[in-house]
A and B are shown apart, each in its own frame.
Chain A
């Protein structure tokens, strides 16, 4: 079956329109189907031996230099599968959102934009999808979010747009100077080291805000808290990874010397961010805030892997990206399930729930175990490859980031202790079938990838790092 990259785009686009049909609450099945279909198609594309699977190239807007060039490379394909899974899970978890049709239409529109980012092989096309993410995401947070959604959305929006603005300047500058916006073509053009550093810095402006790299993360805690849980899942699980993809695919791919020059600063910030996020997670009393800062820590660790740009560390960043997406989805779902039973997200509402809800406790423990990187889970595979891959070129940062595993254990086990240990102050009903159906596939994938990380790492072949991008082996 001949699948092209555009098919990946057509599915969620059709779903967006289909969501406007009067289906009542059943409209979320459209979102689930769309997500799963994209994941399945991406797997098909990943199986093809071509470096750029499902490639299509059309001249689109000649006066603007915009071509429609799409294709799926290894890292993109892997992240596409993740995005499909997370969008499906999030849609399934969106059962009680008011105005389900508008919600699902925006949800599928967001999925379209995210999918586009992973397949775009033209800089302007990439940017179009990058910016196109903003409107549905902002509307989803602002219109369906919790208290503080207004200020949180504004800050998120303006911070992100500022980064994108600088990014655009870099894109247009590069494209006009090189007379092409096509990523594959640009990869073979020589660019001086100074220009590479400047362009890398301009491009990174968008990605360091989106990831977010420490200290550009001021928008994160408020946005994660204000967003409804499914949106938070997607925001943390896959939208942050578009930044990772941008860093690896664009910055490392096109400006390897520039990244090499900027690496000491970037890597240091990432290492600090990893520790910082973990330390702050330890202080939080609200499960969502714990997850938010834990994510900050993980995402900065992934950033460390991306910026170190060695083959091993990028493989690690890829697995860690998938792992974090799955784990954070599970954690947010579990937090929501816990909050449902205790009346809120604050941890001091109830304790000792392990006695009455052992399955909830068990799955929560498994998710936390994966989050803190115990071997056997994908979390460990990702972390280890990132750290060992970065160690040669940036030993100090790698060591500092390794210390994060201790702090992670502290905040992770503290969360479990506050919720499930101690004398039972209340009873809670255990996980229902529907809740288990959401969690088990996620956690099963986490274990699968922990045991067979080759499923991901084999796809991150050297051709992802373009010919002059073999930075540090």
Chain B
């Protein structure tokens, strides 16, 4: 292993190493789930720190692992999202009697897979990353000991995921058959399509779209998000998308200049996703399912950004970062409640019980709607601007209307917290660390709305 290889693999090594350490630590059954979660968060932060410190540079392993701006940006996003999810998980794990060490280790491994997808320089590595991302997620979905539906969700996820992996692999094979290479760099300047390469790329995109939960590949998401342990849901809602979009952007970047028209197809995916997901969320009574559809809709916005071409990568990264904070935050608030799978009615009286949580939730919901002064507004603005620059006005109109519709369901959730009642009453005090994390996330979102400078600068670095 050359120094370049080591540098390229550093964040991965930290994550995987940390996962292994957690597993070993778990054998001793000394630390409780809270401590495990805290350690896991620390590991994730360390990985992120490593990436930040090391910065960009030459690729490692002969181009298999890249260290360009895009890789760095996605690695950071994944690291922070993982850390947040784990920090929130402590109390939840203790309360629901979920095995702590396994949970944390699985999350860290999955995070490694996400990073791998985003930094991968060739298709096989991307595939490996996808699998490394997905397999722990299947297990995580089933980890709640008391609920039977977790098993059902996990099984569905696994079966669908396996089918998708097969599709993805087949696509990779086709591309290899057409070009003779796995490296993404080799795709640059490939002459316009024989059917092989087109089919290959189509299947690859289908596989990635499945992970990102885009319509019509989204059908698993509501069931899975609802039945998984909430911190796991928070984690997968962000990291799975981050990995998928990281890979997607890289593939799009590699094929710029070829005759493959990403714009229309991705735009169509985005449009479908936005329309279906927004309307589906309107009637939802269960909060986790509602947030699941919300995530799907936001994937649509991310796709809108991707559709405009690689020059909009900073917009996608910015959106992902904000979306990450908002999603982990909102799922996190749910995770901090006693009821694992609340309906909207179960939120009544939450304002009286946990006012800080409701304030934070309010910030997140307003941010998800895309209203100022939260960062959510600027994120959507950034994406819209990019889309208009690419002549995708129709898509912007759809996106804007989807935002309006989303206000309906987000506000319904928020206002439910102010209803009189004590459906959300709880004998336990609010978990402290979790509340702190959620509050910090809310403040970050507000700060990003007013002084987004640092985050924007960071996003600008996402070059390919």
Query: Do chains A and B interact in one complex?
Result: yes
A residues engaging B (CB < 8 A)? 61, 63-66, 124, 128-129, 131-132, 134-135, 138, 142-143, 150, 154, 157-158, 161-162, 164-166, 168-169, 172-173, 175-177
CB of B407 within 8 A of CB of A128, answer no
CB of A172 within 8 A of CB of B452, answer no
CB of A61 within 8 A of CB of B378, answer yes
CB of A161 within 8 A of CB of B373, answer no
Interchain CA distance A150-B418 in the complex, whole Å? 12
| B contact residues around A161 at 8 Å (CB) | 403-404, 407
CB of B411 within 8 A of CB of A64, answer no
- What string of 1s and 0s marks CB contacts (under 8 Å) between B416-460 and chain A? 001000000000000000000000000000000000110010011
| A contact residues around B453 at 8 Å (CB) | 61
Residues A128 and B372 in contact in the complex (CB < 8 Å), given A61-B456, A172-B381: yes
CB of A64 within 8 A of CB of B385, answer yes
| A contact residues around B98 at 8 Å (CB) | none
Residues A131 and B371 in contact in the complex (CB < 8 Å), given A63-B460, A172-B388: yes
**Chain A residue, CB-CB nearest to B400:** A165
CB of B371 within 8 A of CB of A132, answer yes
CB of B400 within 8 A of CB of A168, answer yes
Ranked 6 nearest A-B pairs via Cβ: A165-B400, A128-B372, A132-B372, A161-B404, A176-B388, A165-B404
| B contact residues around A66 at 8 Å (CB) | 381
B residues engaging A (CB < 8 A)? 314, 366, 371-373, 377-378, 381-382, 384-385, 388-389, 393, 396-397, 400-401, 403-404, 407-408, 411, 415, 418, 452-453, 456, 459-460
Interchain CA distance A158-B401 in the complex, whole Å? 10
| B contact residues around A165 at 8 Å (CB) | 400-401, 403-404
CB of B377 within 8 A of CB of A157, answer no
Residues A172 and B384 in contact in the complex (CB < 8 Å), given A61-B452, A64-B456, A131-B377: yes
Interchain CA distance A168-B393 in the complex, whole Å? 11
| B contact residues around A158 at 8 Å (CB) | 404, 407-408
**Chain A residue, CB-CB nearest to B405:** A158
CB of A162 within 8 A of CB of B372, answer no
Apart from A131-B372, A172-B384: 20 A-B pairs, beta carbons within 8 A:
A61-B378, A63-B460, A124-B381, A129-B372, A132-B371, A134-B371, A135-B371, A142-B415, A143-B418, A154-B408, A158-B408, A161-B407, A162-B404, A166-B397, A166-B400, A169-B393, A172-B388, A173-B393, A173-B396, A175-B385
CB of A138 within 8 A of CB of B456, answer no
Whole-angstrom distance between the Cβ of A64 and the nearest chain B Cβ: 6
Whole-angstrom distance between the Cβ of A279 and the nearest chain B Cβ: 32
CB of B393 within 8 A of CB of A157, answer no
Interchain CA distance A154-B371 in the complex, whole Å? 16
Q: Is the interface of A mostly helix, strand, loop or mixed?
A: helix
Interchain CA distance A380-B132 in the complex, whole Å? 75
CB of B385 within 8 A of CB of A65, answer yes
Whole-angstrom distance between the Cβ of A284 and the nearest chain B Cβ: 29
Whole-angstrom distance between the Cβ of A130 and the nearest chain B Cβ: 9
Whole-angstrom distance between the Cβ of B191 and the nearest chain A Cβ: 33
| A contact residues around B456 at 8 Å (CB) | 61, 63-64
CB of A63 within 8 A of CB of B401, answer no
Interchain CA distance A373-B388 in the complex, whole Å? 47
Residues A172 and B404 in contact in the complex (CB < 8 Å), given A132-B372, A150-B415: no
| A contact residues around B389 at 8 Å (CB) | 176
- B397 CB contact (under 8 Å) in A135, A142, A154, A169: A169
- B378 CB contact (under 8 Å) in A64, A164, A177: A64
Interchain CA distance A138-B377 in the complex, whole Å? 18
| A contact residues around B384 at 8 Å (CB) | 168, 172
CB of B382 within 8 A of CB of A138, answer no
Interchain CA distance A65-B372 in the complex, whole Å? 16
| A contact residues around B371 at 8 Å (CB) | 131-132, 134-135
Interchain CA distance A172-B404 in the complex, whole Å? 17
Interchain CA distance A129-B401 in the complex, whole Å? 19
| B contact residues around A124 at 8 Å (CB) | 381
Whole-angstrom distance between the Cβ of A319 and the nearest chain B Cβ: 31
Whole-angstrom distance between the Cβ of B443 and the nearest chain A Cβ: 14
Interchain CA distance A307-B396 in the complex, whole Å? 28
Interchain CA distance A175-B396 in the complex, whole Å? 14
| B contact residues around A168 at 8 Å (CB) | 384, 400
| B contact residues around A173 at 8 Å (CB) | 388, 393, 396
| B contact residues around A169 at 8 Å (CB) | 393, 396-397, 400
**Chain A residue, CB-CB nearest to B314:** A63
| A contact residues around B382 at 8 Å (CB) | 63-64
- Of the A-B pairs whose beta carbons lie under 8 Å apart in the complex, a sample of 25, sorted by A's number, is A61-B452, A61-B453, A63-B314, A63-B382, A63-B459, A64-B381, A65-B385, A128-B372, A129-B372, A131-B371, A131-B372, A131-B377, A132-B372, A134-B371, A150-B415, A158-B404, A158-B408, A161-B403, A161-B404, A161-B407, A162-B401, A165-B401, A169-B396, A176-B389, A177-B388
Whole-angstrom distance between the Cβ of A111 and the nearest chain B Cβ: 14
| B contact residues around A134 at 8 Å (CB) | 371
CB of B411 within 8 A of CB of A138, answer yes
| A contact residues around B396 at 8 Å (CB) | 169, 172-173
**Chain A residue, CB-CB nearest to B355:** A102
**Chain A residue, CB-CB nearest to B414:** A139
Interchain CA distance A157-B369 in the complex, whole Å? 12
Most central of B366, B377, B384, B411 by chain A CB within 10 Å: B411
Interchain CA distance A176-B312 in the complex, whole Å? 14
| B contact residues around A176 at 8 Å (CB) | 385, 388-389
Interchain CA distance A142-B411 in the complex, whole Å? 11
Whole-angstrom distance between the Cβ of B365 and the nearest chain A Cβ: 10
Interchain CA distance A161-B378 in the complex, whole Å? 16
**Chain B residue, CB-CB nearest to A65:** B385
Interchain CA distance A61-B459 in the complex, whole Å? 12
| A contact residues around B404 at 8 Å (CB) | 158, 161-162, 164-165
**Chain B residue, CB-CB nearest to A143:** B418
CB of A128 within 8 A of CB of B377, answer yes
**Chain A residue, CB-CB nearest to B387:** A172
- B411 CB contact (under 8 Å) in A63, A65, A128, A154: A154
| A contact residues around B403 at 8 Å (CB) | 161, 165
Interchain CA distance A128-B373 in the complex, whole Å? 7
Interchain CA distance A165-B396 in the complex, whole Å? 10
Interchain CA distance A134-B371 in the complex, whole Å? 8
Whole-angstrom distance between the Cβ of A74 and the nearest chain B Cβ: 26
| B contact residues around A143 at 8 Å (CB) | 418
Whole-angstrom distance between the Cβ of B407 and the nearest chain A Cβ: 5
Whole-angstrom distance between the Cβ of A80 and the nearest chain B Cβ: 20
Interchain CA distance A169-B385 in the complex, whole Å? 9
**Chain A residue, CB-CB nearest to B457:** A63
**Chain B residue, CB-CB nearest to A177:** B388
**Chain A residue, CB-CB nearest to B380:** A168
Interchain CA distance A124-B384 in the complex, whole Å? 12
| A contact residues around B314 at 8 Å (CB) | 63
Whole-angstrom distance between the Cβ of B169 and the nearest chain A Cβ: 38
**Chain B residue, CB-CB nearest to A60:** B453
Interchain CA distance A135-B407 in the complex, whole Å? 11
Interchain CA distance A143-B397 in the complex, whole Å? 32
**Chain A residue, CB-CB nearest to B415:** A142
Whole-angstrom distance between the Cβ of B347 and the nearest chain A Cβ: 15
Whole-angstrom distance between the Cβ of B367 and the nearest chain A Cβ: 11
Whole-angstrom distance between the Cβ of B120 and the nearest chain A Cβ: 27
Interchain CA distance A64-B372 in the complex, whole Å? 14
| A contact residues around B460 at 8 Å (CB) | 63
Whole-angstrom distance between the Cβ of B258 and the nearest chain A Cβ: 26
Whole-angstrom distance between the Cβ of A263 and the nearest chain B Cβ: 25
Interchain CA distance A172-B386 in the complex, whole Å? 10
| B contact residues around A177 at 8 Å (CB) | 388
| B contact residues around A129 at 8 Å (CB) | 372
Whole-angstrom distance between the Cβ of A366 and the nearest chain B Cβ: 40
| B contact residues around A63 at 8 Å (CB) | 314, 382, 456, 459-460
**Chain B residue, CB-CB nearest to A129:** B372
